[in-house]
C-alpha cells in the first residue's frame, strides 16, 4: 500500500484485517483512492502535467517529480536538486519536509460506503506558509 514519507504529515488509512488491506491495495492500484497534498516548493510552479521516467506509485514520487521540474520541496534534504544537475541549497528555513496529505477518499473495504476525510495543514506548516517572505 502507499505510505507517507516519514516527514510528511497528514491523513493515512490503516487496514485492520488482511481482507481490508487487499481491498485498499486494489483501490490504490486502480488509482481510485482520492488523495490531495499541499506542498511548499521553491519557485513558482505553473499548472502542468509532469512526466517522468519513473513508474507511478513510487515512494517519494511527488518529491522526485517536483525536483526534476526544478521546484524541490522546501525542507527536502534528499531531492533538493534536479537529478544529475547542480542545484541551489534550500534557504527557505523549513524545519522539515513541507508536504502534507490533506485529503483522502476511498471506498470502505467492508461496507462499500464512500469515505472522505480532510484535515488542515499542521500548525508548523501553517506558520511556515504564513511567515513574511523576507525571513
pLDDT tens figures, 51-70: 766 575 555 688 888 888 88
Residue 106: what pLDDT?
97
Is 2 one of the catalytic residues?
Answer: no
From the list 5, 76, 90, 124, the catalytic residue is 5
Q: Taking the complete model, does pTM exceed 0.95, yes or no? A: no
- Give, as one character, the DSSP assignment of residue 52: -
Q: Are strands 34-39 and 114-118 parallel, antiparallel or unpaired?
A: unpaired
List of domains in the chain = 9-130 (3.30.2350.10)
Has residue 48 got a pLDDT over 70?
yes
For residue 84 the three cell numbers come to: 544529475
Amino acid at each position: 500500500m502507499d505510505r507517507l514519507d516519514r516527514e510528511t504529515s497528514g491523513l493515512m488509512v490503516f487496514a485492520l484485517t488482511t481482507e481490508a488491506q487487499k481491498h485498499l491495495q486494489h483501490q490504490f492500484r486502480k488509482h481510485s483512492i482520492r488523495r490531495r497534498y499541499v506542498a511548499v516548493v521553491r519557485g513558482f510552479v505553473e499548472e502542468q502535467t509532469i512526466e517522468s521516467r519513473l513508474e507511478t506509485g513510487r515512494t517519494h514520487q511527488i518529491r522526485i517529480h517536483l525536483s526534476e521540474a526544478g521546484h524541490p520541496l522546501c525542507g527536502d534534504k534528499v531531492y533538493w536538486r534536479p537529478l544529475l544537475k547542480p542545484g541551489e541549497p534550500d534557504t527557505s528555513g523549513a524545519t522539515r519536509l513541507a508536504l502534507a496529505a490533506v485529503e483522502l477518499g476511498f471506498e470502505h473495504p467492508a461496507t462499500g460506503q464512500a469515505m472522505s476525510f480532510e484535515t488542515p495543514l499542521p500548525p508548523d506548516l501553517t506558520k511556515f506558509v504564513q511567515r513574511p517572505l523576507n525571513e
